[in-house]
Amino acid sequence: MSGMDPAYVAVHMEEDRLHWWFRGRLAILLAALRRALPRRRVRLLELGCGSGNVLGALGEFGEAVGMEVHPELAAAARAAGLDVRAGALPDDLVVPPGWADVVLLLDVIEHLEDDAAAPRGRAPGARPGRPPRGARARLPVALERARRRARPPPAL
């Protein structure tokens, strides 16, 4: 089961679509994907898709599937018509091996009880070989680790 605080889940379901942080982050992510991904349709897998804010926007690039461990978040995403499958890192694979051209892991590592269990090397479900032209499959994991190591701001 998820290591997420139930109070966080309730707040996140509301803020994921409305809060300036999540809206700005989504705009930046989509701009980066537009530059990095090929113009053809691709298959995208979002591990830890939460309530589906990012997953819903990924449809712009092709077929998008989400994996989520928390039942309330997954239910919210499914209610929005998104393809979300129950699963948890590192063991579950919700798509056939090699199905995904792109695997995203955003805002997930800090919720894992064992962050070392996050995918190493090729992410689960990723297609073997090089990522699509310009895309860097490991970038989301690297960004998450860097963010987690960053010091919190000093208390006021």
Q: CA–CA separation, 63 vs 82, rounded Å?
A: 10
Instruction: Please name each of the domains of the chain with its CATH number.
Output: 6-149 (3.40.50.150)
pLDDT tens profile 15-35:
777 888 888 889 999 999 998
pLDDT tens profile 43-96:
999 999 989 999 999 999 999 999 999 898 999 899 999 999 999 887 788 999
Q: When comparing pLDDT for 153 and 88, which is higher?
A: 88
Backbone angles phi, psi at 79, to 5 degrees: -65, -25
The answer to whether 32 touches 58, Cβ cutoff 8 Å, is no
